Amino acid sequence: MENVFVPDKNGKVLKVGDEVNVPEPNGNDIHNHEFVGTIDSITQSGFVNVIDGDNDMFCFHPNRLELYDENDNHLSPDEIEKLKKLVPSTK
């Protein structure tokens, strides 16, 4: 359905064509692991159909999804500092 917008778990607007983070499956899911997928459609009842990298489609309630941000590294400042110490300097 076109021109339907629903909020993700953080209140950001989801629309057809957006990339979203799909969480680890819960007891009712049929996907096997978390993944980044593309919104194919949004139903009249507000459910979101997401296509994965294998072109399989899965249906989710939008509050389980998160708009994908390729600039968001999902690491805390402490984790970033620990990683910096592990990576040798190129200076």
Domain count, the chain: 1
User: What does the longest C-alpha to C-alpha distance in the chain come to?
Assistant: 56
Instruction: Look up the CATH number of the domain holding residue 50.
Output: 2.30.30.1060
Model pLDDT for residues 54-90, shown as the tens digit of each residue: 999 999 999 999 999 866 655 556 666 666 676 655 5
Residue 1's pLDDT band (boundaries 50, 70, 90)? very low
What global pTM score does this model have?
0.72
Any domain includes 36: yes
What pLDDT is recorded for position 47?
A: 92
pLDDT tens for residues 15-32? 999 999 998 888 887 887
Our measurement of the distance from residue 3's CA atom to the centroid of its chain's CA atoms, rounded to an integer in Å, reads: 20
Report the C-alpha gap between 26 and 72 in whole angstroms: 24
Whether residue 91 is contained in a domain is answered as no
The answer to whether position 11 is within a domain reads: yes
Cα gap 78→39, rounded to integer Å: 33
Among positive and negative, which fits the CA dihedral 30, 31, 36, 39?
negative
Residues 26, 35, 39, 64, CA torsion sign? positive
